Amino acid sequence: WSAFAPDFKELDENVEYEERESEFDLSDE
């Protein structure tokens, strides 16, 4: 089923998301 969604990644277990420095920003300078 994961072949139907090319951007989708199948996981065996949880992965912790690593936030970017700009994660919360709507606009930078």
Partner 1 sequence: QVLLALHDRAPQLKVSEDRLSVTGEKGYCMIRATHCVSKGQWYYEVTIDEMPEGSATRLGWAQEYGNLQAPLGYDKFGYSWRSRKGTKFHECHGKHFSTGYGEGDVLGFLIILPEV
Partner 2 sequence: SLPMAMRFRHLRETSKTSVGVFRSDIHGRGLFCLRDIEAGEMVIEYAGEVIRNTLTDNREKYYQSKGIGCYMFKVDDNFTVDATLKGNAARFINHSCEPNCYSRIVDILGKKHIIIFAFRRIPQGEELTYDYKFPIEDEKIHCHCLARRCRKYLN
CA-based nearest residue to 28, from 14, 2, 20, 8: 20
Interface size with partner 1, residues (CB under 8 A)? 10
Q: Does 15 bind partner 1 (CB under 8 A)?
A: no
Q: Which of partner 1, partner 2, none sits in contact with 3, Cβ below 5 to 8 A by type?
A: none
- Given 7, 10, 13, 21, the residue binding partner 1 (CB under 8 A): 21
Task: Provide the CA 17 distance to its chain's centre, in angstroms.
Answer: 7
Rounded CA separation 16/27 (Å): 25
Residues forming the site for partner 1 (CB under 8 A):
18-19, 21, 23-29
